Structure 1
Amino acid sequence: MVLPPELPPLLLSLPPLLLLSLPWVPTEARTATVGVLAPREVSGLLGDTVELSCKLPPLEHEVHVTQVTWTRQDAAGNELNVAVFHPIQGASFPEPGRLEFVGARPGLELRDGSLALRGLRAQDEANYTCRFATFPEGSRSARTWLRVLAQPENKAEAEEVPLSPLSPEPVPVARCVSSEGRPPAQVSWSHLDGKTNESQVPGHQPGTYTVTSFLIATPSSQTDGKPVTCRVEHESFKEPILLPVTLNVPYPPEVSISGFDDNWYLGRREVALSCDVRSKPEPTDYDWSTTNGTLPPSAVAQGSQLLIQTVDESINTTFICQVTNALGTGQAELPILVREEPPNQAPQQGLSTLGIAFLIVGGLVFLALLAFLIRFWLSRRSRRDQHRSSANGHVSYTVVADIIASSSEDPPKENTK
């Protein structure tokens, strides 16, 4: 709306909200969104204060602003008056106390129509239109979408699974709750193998929502103790909230049998089988049996152990260990194949090709070493004999020389006396 060029003094004294209801001539042909500075969207948290900015930049020629009006569009599309500012009369609000013009002051040039809204409520979320009524240019307006957000509170924890007999069907094992959020938060889990069950209900504050997500998984030893993460995303968060949870899941017994080394032969004594169990809670009962029903006479069950005093033909069967806890039962089977005699008493078979090759190589190495030792011994003996021969020749030569020397001397003279 725009005020006429000559406003009667009586009308100037009327409250601004009443001026809106007067039959002014609409100036739709002169209405435009260009020139009014206002954001397309503004968001604020529930209960906080938000500012709807609306400013008119300086114009090239002289233009008088006669009024600033704020309206909002309800769910049905109707325009509702929110606030009015008149250069002489000042501000007027249908709901005083929550609204305030930030920059407009009576008696000053009206260029800033920004509006502050306190104590933000969910029902305040709407399209708001700021309109400058000018003379003689007409009206200029801009629209802003106000979003009202509520930051949710979040928590995640392991779900307590009751200790009662369970079927193999999946059950809730963890819960993640995002409370009092607006809009509703987005909740997801890092455990890709599990399924989820999500629900959404209104929060305690009007316009808010509480989202609850359950992680569904089949109870097992692989699930128990596994770390998972609840991821909460919301427009009011700079980054997602990550909530770690360690699963605490009871499960029926998971059974396996150990102790058989595939070397049980007739007559072997004091062997045993062990019933290995993973169970939460602890097992309450162990039951040993065979596919034939009862245990062989030489087998004695002692809890998780099955002691066999002597291996005989009756041990050549399939043993079954069944374990029970508070949630159910689990069992394992192990077939036993009894040999007639120990492996070291079995008939000897011919040497393999590899064994023969090792024997040949070993024999050749032995012969080469023996030949070397014999040659070395002969060589040393030969040198020793040569040394002895040389020494004996020298002695003989000396003896011969002495004989020759003694024979050449004159014979002794006889005593003539």
Structure 2
Amino acid sequence: MVWPLLLRLIVLSLPWVPTEAGPGTVRVLAPTQVRGLLGATVELPCRLPPLEHGVRVTQVTWTQRDAAGTDVNVAVFHPTQGPSFPEPGRLEFVAARPGEELRDGSLVLRDLRTEDEANYTCRFAMFPEGSRSASTWLRVLAQPENKAETQEVPLSLLSPGPVLVASCVSSEGRPPARISWSQLDGKANESQVPGHLPGTFTVISLLSLTPSSQTDGRTVTCKVEHESFEEPVLLTMTLAVPYPPEVSISGYDDNWYLGRSEATLSCDVRSKPEPTGYDWSTTKGPLPPSAVAQGSQLLIQTVDASINTTFICRVTNALGTGQAELNILVREEPPNQALQQGLSTENIIILTVGVVVGLVLLGFLIYFRLFRRPRQDQHSSSANGYASYKAVDVNDRSTQDPLTESER
């Protein structure tokens, strides 16, 4: 299981580049960085391209730069004498063999320790080219173990403010893991302590939220990021958070008028744990004589002037107290009666307009029947008479006026 991860880490390393060229054409090929897991095995690649005729390698040397900046020999390979290690057992040349062409000086380092993290230089001594080298930075990683869990909130009186609701721990990581939460409205406190293994770290993140009905039952996610992970680790949990009572008052419909009976107010509560007590009052003090408290309900036996006030419902549970206020406006008469009167007035107006319109239409009808039609009849009669007269005048001259005939 370790080797595939190590191979992926090597592939993800920076490109192979030469770090020292010199006057010749031979260049050493090595990655600028290699990563390995703590306690595992890692390979430090170092190779030469095909050599020109007449060029030969006389020795390969690996050095490690310590904290003081001094280069210390860790491995040497001679073409005829073979390998040499100051600390045998942990180091091994991958491909170099005595008596063979020496172009691959890659080195294997087993059982990685935190102190192995350093800058390593691979140097080829060549004749007649001289020395060529390349450096690789070895990073030693430790993959952390991660867990997240909700925190029990004690049932005690709480001051307003956030409380611890969840924790997320990333243990034994190198370098330290990065932890973040999905809930940006919360407050995360992070701390870091040394791990049990030398050079490792444990990161602890504590999430605090203000207790409320919105907090209880909420899903939160802890995200852990680390160099050794291909993807971030997501740890999801559901919160179980007690909270003080959240109170509202219902039952007032803006139809409370003098003389109304059996009106009721209800004290609606969201609470965890359940409420332990209800207390009804007004901003003026005790309840009016006609108001009777019955647990979460307030029964108004008869609405009178004393009900025209602001009622308060105060609820208590094991964590604290919450309250709500409601202002009551008492009317002199039922709003629905005023509405009915308004509708009657509207009906009267509509009826009056309808009568006026009807009378106007009736007047027009009478006008047309009495005046317009006789004139039309008279005009038709005159026209007919004129036509008859003209007919007589043409066909029978004896019908003309006698006076006119004698004058002729």
User: TM bucket by the smaller chain?
Assistant: 0.7 to 0.9
Deviation of the 1:64 alpha carbon: 2.3
Deviation of the 1:342 alpha carbon: 2.1
Q: Is the 8 A contact 2:26 2:51 kept in 1?
A: no
Q: Which residue of 1 aligns with 2:293?
A: 301
Q: Which residue of 1 aligns with 2:385?
A: none
Residues 1:52 and 2:44 are matched in the alignment: yes
Equivalent residue letter for 1:75: A
Residues 1:114 and 2:72 are matched in the alignment: no
Pick aligned residue for 2:141 from 140, 145, 149: 149
Q: Is the 8 A contact 1:318 1:335 kept in 2?
A: yes
Q: Matches of 1:103 and 1:149 in 2, distance apart?
A: 26
Q: Which residue of 1 aligns with 2:69?
A: 77
Q: Matches of 2:318 and 2:257 in 1, distance apart?
A: 39
Q: Matches of 1:33 and 1:198 in 2, distance apart?
A: 53
Deviation of the 1:360 alpha carbon: 7.2
Q: Matches of 2:187 and 2:289 in 1, distance apart?
A: 50
Q: Which residue of 2 aligns with 1:279?
A: 271
Deviation of the 1:341 alpha carbon: 2.4
Change (3 A) 1:212 1:350: closer
Residues 1:162 and 2:149 are matched in the alignment: no
Residues 1:206 and 2:201 are matched in the alignment: no
Deviation of the 1:226 alpha carbon: 1.5
Q: Matches of 2:107 and 2:99 in 1, distance apart?
A: 18
Deviation of the 1:136 alpha carbon: 2.1
Deviation of the 1:42 alpha carbon: 0.6
Residues 1:243 and 2:243 are matched in the alignment: no
RMSD in angstroms over aligned alpha carbons? 2.8
Q: Is the 8 A contact 2:259 2:304 kept in 1?
A: yes
Change (3 A) 1:360 1:137: farther
Equivalent residue letter for 1:253: P
Provide the secondary structure at the position in 1 that maps to 2:284. coil
Q: Which residue of 1 aligns with 2:9?
A: none
Show CA shifts across 1:75-100 (max 9, x none).
11111111111112211111111111
Q: Is the 8 A contact 1:273 1:305 kept in 2?
A: yes
Q: Which residue of 2 aligns with 1:129?
A: 121
Provide the secondary structure at the position in 2 that maps to 1:188. strand
Q: Matches of 1:46 and 1:366 in 2, distance apart?
A: 104
Provide the secondary structure at the position in 1 that maps to 2:31. coil
Q: Matches of 1:143 and 1:328 in 2, distance apart?
A: 65
Deviation of the 1:216 alpha carbon: 2.2
Q: Which residue of 2 aligns with 1:409?
A: none
Q: Is the 8 A contact 2:278 2:296 kept in 1?
A: yes
Q: Which residue of 1 aligns with 2:329?
A: 337
How many residue pairs end up in the alignment? 342
Change (3 A) 1:270 1:60: same
Show CA shifts across 1:206-263 (max 9, x none).
1111111122221111222122221111111112122212222211111111111111
Q: Matches of 1:366 and 1:144 in 2, distance apart?
A: 107
Residues 1:252 and 2:255 are matched in the alignment: no
TM-score (norm 2): 0.77
TM-score (norm 1): 0.76
Q: Is the 8 A contact 2:21 2:27 kept in 1?
A: no
Pick aligned residue for 1:96 from 88, 97, 102: 88
Q: Matches of 1:249 and 1:33 in 2, distance apart?
A: 71
Q: Is the 8 A contact 2:309 2:328 kept in 1?
A: yes
Q: Matches of 1:119 and 1:56 in 2, distance apart?
A: 27
Ranges in structure 2 where 5+ consecutive residues have no aligned partner: 1-19, 360-408
Equivalent residue letter for 1:58: P
Q: Matches of 1:350 and 1:323 in 2, distance apart?
A: 43
Q: Matches of 1:173 and 1:296 in 2, distance apart?
A: 43
Equivalent residue letter for 1:278: R
Q: Is the 8 A contact 1:31 1:138 kept in 2?
A: no
Provide the secondary structure at the position in 1 that maps to 2:168. strand
Q: Matches of 1:349 and 1:30 in 2, distance apart?
A: 108
Q: Which residue of 1 aligns with 2:174?
A: 182
Equivalent residue letter for 1:166: L
Q: Which residue of 2 aligns with 1:67?
A: 59
Q: Could you tell me the percent identity over the aligned residues? A: 79
Provide the secondary structure at the position in 2 that maps to 1:37. coil
Q: Which residue of 2 aligns with 1:13?
A: none
Show CA shifts across 1:12-37 (max 9, x none).
xxxxxxxxxxxxxxxx9968896111
Deviation of the 1:107 alpha carbon: 1.6
Residues 1:226 and 2:218 are matched in the alignment: yes
Deviation of the 1:166 alpha carbon: 0.8
Equivalent residue letter for 1:94: P
Deviation of the 1:359 alpha carbon: 4.8
Change (3 A) 1:347 1:200: closer
Change (3 A) 1:270 1:30: closer
Deviation of the 1:172 alpha carbon: 2.0
Q: Matches of 1:364 and 1:277 in 2, distance apart?
A: 60
Q: Matches of 2:118 and 2:151 in 1, distance apart?
A: 40
Q: Matches of 1:220 and 1:169 in 2, distance apart?
A: 11
Pick aligned residue for 2:310 from 308, 318, 323: 318
Q: Is the 8 A contact 1:149 1:183 kept in 2?
A: yes
Ranges in structure 1 where 5+ consecutive residues have no aligned partner: 1-27, 368-417
Q: Is the 8 A contact 2:124 2:133 kept in 1?
A: yes
Change (3 A) 1:238 1:59: same
Q: Matches of 2:320 and 2:204 in 1, distance apart?
A: 30
Show CA shifts across 1:290-320 (max 9, x none).
1222112222111111112222222222111
